[in-house]
Structure 1
Amino acid sequence: METLLEDFISDEDLKTCEKLYNDELRRGIRNPKTKFDYAWCLIRSRYPADTRKGVLFMEDLFKNGDESARRDYVYYLAFGKCKLKEYSSANRYIKAFLEIEPSNRQAKELQEVIQKRITREGLAGAAIAGGIVAVVVGTAFALLKK
C-alpha cells in the first residue's frame, strides 16, 4: 500500500483523462464514470493541487453520484486524504469504509498505513516541540547567568 501511495500517474495518462472529461463536459455529457476516472487520475498525480482537485471531485461524486458506488468513493477519499497528509480525515473515511466492509484487505492495509503515518507525524511533532522547549530553556538559563 505504501508503494501505491508513492506511485504517480504519468502526465500523459493524466492529460488523456482530463481531455476525455473536458470533451464530455463541452458536449453536455455528465458521465459519473468519466468523472470518477478523472478524479482517480488526479488523486494519483504527483502534484498536490491535482490531488486536492481529485478529492473534491470524489466528494462531489459521493454526495451526488451513484449510491451503489459510494463505498468506492469513500475508499478513494481516504486514499487521497492520506496522500495529502490529512491523516485524521483519511482515518475517518477508512473507518467508515471498514464499517461497511470490515474484511476488505486493501482497506485494512490503507488503515495501517494511515495509523503509522499518524504515529510518525505525532513523534516528529513531539520532537520538534521538545527541541523548541530545549532552545527556550537554554536561552533562559543563558540570560539568567548574565
Structure 2
Amino acid sequence: MEPKEELQRARAAYFTALETGEELENKKFTYAWCLIYMKDHEEIRTGITLLQELAEIKSLQREALYYLAVAQYRLEMYMLARNTLKQLLAIDPNNKPALDLKALIEHVLRKEGAIGLAVFSGGVAAAAGVALAVGAALVKRR
C-alpha cells in the first residue's frame, strides 16, 4: 500500500473514531504515525500535535514520545527531539530505539557545531584579512 493511501485510511478511521469514540486512542496513534512519515512538513506538524496529546496517556506515553522525537528529528528540531528523548529515557532508560536516535541526534549536533564553528572561524579570518588589507593600503598611502 502506498504511504498516501495508508494515510487516507488512517485519517478516515481516526475521524470515524472521533464520532463513535471506538478505539480513539489507537486510531489517533496510527494516524499520527502515518503523518510523521510524510514529506510535507505541515502533515508532520499535525502528527506532532497528535503525538503530544497521546504522550499524556500513560499507556501510550513511551511510543508517543519516541515517535514525537522521530518527527522532531525529521523537521530538524534536534534540541526538541533530544529533550523528548530525555523524557522517554527517564521513564525507560534501556529503550534501544530511543538510545539509537539520541546517538544519531548527538552526532548531527556535533557535526552542525563543527560546521558552524568552521563558518564562524572562516568569517572571522576573512574579516581579519580585510582589516589587514585595508591597514596595509592606509600605510602605503602615508
The two structures share one fold, judged by TM-score above 0.5: yes
Other-structure match for 2:34: 41
Structure 2 counterpart of 1:14, one-letter code = L
Query: Which structure is richer in relative contact order (CA contacts within 8 A, separation 6 or more)?
Result: 1
Distance in structure 1 (CA, Å) of the matches to 2:12 and 2:39:
18
Task: Name structure 2 gaps, 5 residues minimum.
Answer: 138-142
Total equivalences in the alignment: 135
**Per-residue CA shift, 1:21-47, capped at 9, x if unaligned?**
23444x364712111111111111112
Structure 2 counterpart of 1:20, one-letter code = A
What is the CA-CA distance between 1:139 and the residue it aligns to? Answer: 2.0
TM-score, with length taken from structure 2: 0.82
Q: Percent sequence identity over matched residues? A: 31
**Per-residue CA shift, 1:28-73, capped at 9, x if unaligned?**
647121111111111111122221221111112223xx32111111
Other-structure match for 1:3: none
Other-structure match for 1:95: 86
Task: Name structure 1 gaps, 5 residues minimum.
Answer: 1-8
1:110 maps to 2:132: no
Other-structure match for 2:119: 128
Other-structure match for 2:64: 73
Distance in structure 2 (CA, Å) of the matches to 1:131 and 1:20:
53
Other-structure match for 1:60: 53
Distance 1:111 1:141, change over 3 A: same
1:50 counterpart (25, 38, 43): 43
Distance in structure 2 (CA, Å) of the matches to 1:124 and 1:52:
27
What is the CA-CA distance between 1:11 and the residue it aligns to? Answer: 2.4
